[in-house]
Structure 1
Amino acid sequence: MPLVFQLDPPGGPALRDGVLALWADVSNAGGAVGFVPPVTTEEIRPEWRKHLRAMAERRTRLLVGYDEDGAVAATAFLTYNTHRLMAHWVWLYTVMVHPKHQGKGHGRELMAAAADAARTFDGVEAIRLTCRGGTGADRFYGSCGYKEVGRVPGAIRVADGDDRDDVIMLLPLSR
């Protein structure tokens, strides 16, 4: 069953708890979303608060995918580029699909929904994201139309002796 996506869903405890639980579950399953397992929702909460501030200031927008039970099953954050010479593209951050929903095409649905959302933003012509090398995420994003436009070798230190490339990818948006 497809997910139901909502851009800028109403805030509150249910959204907070759903996103925090998703973020912890994805991280603990090995997802490259800013944390290294094991991680708890309490360790993620300060990062969620940063995202909330950015959303309150309208610098960041939240896209949520809900499953058939109404639970948060996927998310992506779209952040406006504030530099006046780069306002024609947005960043896509913290792209997550719950492990129990992976392998069902929901990741592609999420990426398509993010592109559709970005197309509605005034003046936005492209989406840019970065991903951790060595995870296969770059191949997935490539299959969704993103092109690798840069790579910083060893920029992400997952653990002592485990440095990963920071892969920069871009999706031009056609209108």
Structure 2
Amino acid sequence: MDDDAVAGFVQIARPRELTARWRAELIACWTVVANSGGAVVPLAFPVPPVDAEQVAPAADALVAGLAPDRGRLLLATVEGTLAGWLVVRRELHPLIRHWGVVNHVQTHPAFRGRGIGSALLRRARGTATEMGLEQLHIGVREGLGLEDFYRRLGWTEVGRWPGALRLAPGDDRDEILMALDLRTAG
């Protein structure tokens, strides 16, 4: 699926722009992705299984931090339904204000295998450029093949934090640090 095959993209740059419908779909997507083993479980809610009531405060906190120059939520829709989403967030320290971080890259399981994640990440490049960013960074969990997915989209592995992620006792994984230079990315 290319960007044109996704029926639409919605960019949310301010908390007031998120409708009740999109909020509900965002929480539902995050819940099902977390419960299906997706690498998207923040400290804000417990290890899965989780329900919408547990995910809602994390979603609300994420949306509260949106601002045109600081963070944007990007939604991908298919036939009017939320198919996936991510966040592009600017780093605020003056020495690194030129780069941003991509967080919470999620594709609803009902839409997996259709290129939604790839389309979202291609669109995120434009969002980041609109924000005046020159680089994007992301940390991905080892053991899921995510580094290969990002490499295919032009990202480069720049380092690892060995054993940084403890999923369960005896299940430590590296966090793979990846970057995309927007000045040279095609």
Map 1:60-79 to 2 at 5 A.
Answer: 60-68=71-79, 70-79=80-89
Residue by residue over 1:95-147, the C-alpha shift from the partner in whole angstroms, topping out at 9 and shown as x without a partner, is: 0011111111111111101111111112x111111111111111111111110
- 2:26 corresponds to: 19
**What is the alpha-carbon distance in structure 1 between the residues aligned to residue 173 and residue 58 of structure 2?**
22
**What is the alpha-carbon distance in structure 1 between the residues aligned to residue 7 and residue 166 of structure 2?**
33
Match of 2:61 among 43, 46, 50: 50
Change (3 A) 1:118 1:56: closer
**What is the alpha-carbon distance in structure 2 between the residues aligned to residue 104 and residue 41 of structure 1?**
25
Match of 1:89 among 99, 108, 123: 99
Counterpart amino acid of residue 8 in structure 1:
I
Are the equivalent residues in 1 in contact too, given 2:11–2:72 (CA < 8 A)?
Answer: yes
Cα RMSD of the aligned pairs, angstroms, is 1.7
Are the equivalent residues in 1 in contact too, given 2:74–2:124 (CA < 8 A)?
Answer: yes
Q: CA deviation at 1:56?
A: 5.4
- 1:33 corresponds to: 40
Q: CA deviation at 1:12?
A: 2.5
Which TM-score applies when normalising by structure 2?
0.87
**What is the alpha-carbon distance in structure 2 between the residues aligned to residue 57 and residue 47 of structure 1?**
20
Identity over aligned pairs, percent: 35
**What is the alpha-carbon distance in structure 2 between the residues aligned to residue 55 and residue 136 of structure 1?**
30
Are the equivalent residues in 1 in contact too, given 2:69–2:131 (CA < 8 A)?
Answer: no
Counterpart amino acid of residue 173 in structure 1:
L
Greater CA deviation, 22-31 or 86-95? 22-31
Q: CA deviation at 1:72?
A: 1.2
Unaligned runs of 5+ in 1: none
Instruction: Give the secondary-structure state (helix, strand or coil) at the position aligned to 1:55.
Output: coil
**What is the alpha-carbon distance in structure 2 between the residues aligned to residue 45 and residue 57 of structure 1?**
22
Q: Deviating runs (4+, > 3 A) in structure 1?
A: none
Counterpart amino acid of residue 45 in structure 1:
A
Are the equivalent residues in 1 in contact too, given 2:6–2:76 (CA < 8 A)?
Answer: no
